[in-house]
Amino acid sequence: MNECHVDGAAIIARYDAVVEKVAEAARNSGRNPKDVKLIAVSKRHPAEAIKILNKHGQLDFGENYVQEALSKQEELAELTVNWHFIGHLQSKKAKDVAGRFTLIHSIDRLALAQKLQNRMQMLPVSGLDGERKVQDILLQVNIGDEAQKSGVDKDGLFELAEQVAAFPQLRICGLMGMPPASCVAEEARPFFSNLRILRDELVTRIGIPMEHLSMGMTQDYVQAIEEGATFVRIGTEIFGPRPY
């Protein structure tokens, strides 16, 4: 990956401003700021930028592309980082991400979940008790009903959740969703509200605790927090425009 000049002071200043905005949005909606976790979306940004923010105290970083993410994990292996895979995941790439991410946000079909489960079964057991590793995941929902966007449709969510919940080495922790790109700020709010309602219905229906809602990006994370987001995924507002 090509390295470029990294203005660490500017990144830290933007990051600190975002952290305060996230906390303010949480407080304004009657929530504890500690209940909303900021994921710094570092795709297409150099590893040095991640290192700067990590030393400043940020632990959670989101990546969209498997090979880029694995390369950064290797380069930054000495750091304590919670890696989140937030991009579209091809079934053939499941073997590469299994057990390597704190949370995979984009499970949207049974075939992908099956491949991930199969790979998890192949990983060595952990600990003296011989327990097998469990991969935490979110189910991605196509909350805007967009033909071109990934995610299970709302009508198929409950069936998918029941099927995936049966896999012993996958743990469903909640839902992820993105409103249509044309909907920003207040226009995105109904989509976030609908995702929260779907999560609550899912918990009631299949009886599995699912605390997380991954929703909200640079243009709409305030509204997402107000509607219950536990993860917000922010890249440009922290790192600046992506280098290409």
82: helix, strand or coil: strand
Cβ-based neighbours of 80, under 8 Å, separated by 6 or more: 54, 59
Could you tell me which of 32, 92, 47, 86 has the C-alpha nearest to residue 225?
Answer: 32
- Read off the pLDDT of residues 170-219 as tens digits, 9 standing for 90 and up: 999 999 999 998 898 999 999 999 999 999 999 999 999 999 999 999 99
The ranges assigned to domains in the chain are 8-123+132-239
Question: By the 8 A CB rule, do 151 and 191 touch?
Answer: no
- Read off the pLDDT of residues 111-144 as tens digits, 9 standing for 90 and up: 999 999 999 999 988 666 668 899 999 999 999 8
**CA gap 109, 107 in Å, rounded:** 6
Question: Predicted confidence band at 231 (pLDDT cuts at 50, 70, 90)?
Answer: very high
Q: Residue 181: its pLDDT value, please? A: 87
- Identify the CATH assignment for 8-123+132-239 out of 3.40.50.1820, 3.40.109.10, 3.30.413.10, 3.20.20.10: 3.20.20.10
Residues 58-84, mean pLDDT to the nearest whole number: 98
Annotate 127-159 with DSSP letters as a single string: TTTTBPP-EEEEEEE-TT--TTS-SB-GGGHHH
Mean pLDDT of the chain: 94
Distance (Å) of CA 150 to CA 115, 142, 202: 17, 6, 20
**CA gap 87, 65 in Å, rounded:** 6
Q: Greater confidence, 128 or 77?
A: 77
